[in-house]
Amino acid sequence: MSVAPLAPTAPFAVPHRKVLRSWLLPVSARSTWRALPLVLLDYSLFAAALAAVIWLPSWPLKLLFGVIAGLVIGRLFILGHDACHQSFTPNRRLNRWLGRLLFLPSLTPYSLWDVGHNVVHHGYTNLRGFDMVWEPLTPEQYRALPRWRQALERVYRSGWGPGLYYLIEIWWRRMYFPSRREMPSRRAVFVWDGLLVSAFALLWMAGLVWAARASGQSPALLLTTGFALPWLVWNALIGFVIYVHHTHPEIAWHADKAEWSAAQPFVTTTVHLRLRPWRGVDLGGLLHHIFEHTAHHVDMSIPLYRLKAAQRILEQRLPGSIVIQDFSWRWYFETARLCKLYDDQRGCWTDFAGARTALPGQLQRQAGVPKP
């Protein structure tokens, strides 16, 4: 079925999400035989990076391959993220087991990620009080914080703190044996998944200690370069990715559920970040097309190996309605400068003093979209 694109100057009327998903049906097929080789490839890359950390004699090379191992953890996690969405293979049980397997190097408990990400984040993206992923404080909330917490918020929003934010605010508080305050629902599977990733971490560290003693190396050096460094690099990567997906001068947050619903949140609350090829290498492809994020939020069942085509369809048919951003470090740090707090009453981003820095929705207003 051919669907004409919406004219950029037409009155705002993004079709119902069911219609958007119907557009994506031609690129929604899942394939076990396309998914499994990706699992084998990425686990092989992870094992090879750790082997290099262990056997290379030079500590700078150990550091380099520790960083590479952290980036590969990101690739494994993205595969697991798809499995958790039931979009990786057609088999639901296989997806659950693959998801747990793929989440192990990032120490992510599968069931808690399922609740926090699939149910909460995707169900209520950028709705204050529901979506906890990089939810900006209001000026009033910030002023009410103790000084130490204000300082931590400044680090988080500096552009240099995404890894620290993810480690503390997402993984430690909400993923790894969360308190009853953070997760009122108590399920046995949450505990079992926490124990599973804990056991993997202990085996990982024990293997490095054994390798160090067997090869006459320092256990502390191998634990640092083969465990701590990769895991910290992973935290920095995931913190950065989720920040740029939902933080942008054009992206609004909403305190009112009716206003949020009217703003077509599955289209308007996420950014398509475009990475320039580096020497002919598709950098977005190296991260399994996770930056084609609008298509993912419109339809979580689209497998990662079809997201690029799905994003192209949406952008052809919804011109002027999707935030598309070419990545540069200058843009990233400018966004970090502008997007400190969000004033719900004025509907704008502010600095830490409460002065307006950006008014979201300009892209949509230029296309004839009234600001909600």
Residue 71 has what pLDDT? 97
The whole-angstrom separation of Cα 208 and Cα 217 is 10
Largest CA distance in the chain: 70
DSSP at 298: H
DSSP at 273: E
Determine which helix (DSSP H) or strand (DSSP E) holds 316, and give its type and residue range.
helix 307-317
Residue 187 has what pLDDT? 87
Which of the residues in the chain have pLDDT under 70? 1-13, 361-372
pLDDT tens digits, 183-238: 877 889 999 999 999 999 999 999 999 999 999 999 999 999 999 999 999 999 99
- Which residue type is seen at 101? L
pTM of model > 0.95: no
Q: Residue 222 corresponds to which tokens in the numbers above?
A: 């191998």
pLDDT tens digits, 279-331: 778 888 899 999 999 999 999 999 999 999 999 999 888 888 889 999 999 99
DSSP at 131: -
Q: Which of 325, 253, 323 is nearest to 294 (CA)?
A: 323
Q: Residue 370 corresponds to which tokens in the numbers above?
A: 């009234």
Residue 371 has what pLDDT? 42
Q: From start to end of the chain, where are the E strands?
A: 271-274, 323-326, 341-343, 348-350, 356-358
The whole-angstrom separation of Cα 351 and Cα 301 is 37
Instruction: Show the CA angle centred on residue 75, arms to residues 70 and 77, nearest 5°.
Output: 90
Instruction: Decide: 75 and 42 in contact? Cβ < 8 Å.
Output: yes
The whole-angstrom separation of Cα 68 and Cα 155 is 25
Q: Which of 90, 71, 359, 113 is nearest to 231 (CA)?
A: 71
Residue 2 has what pLDDT? 40
Residue 17 has what pLDDT? 80
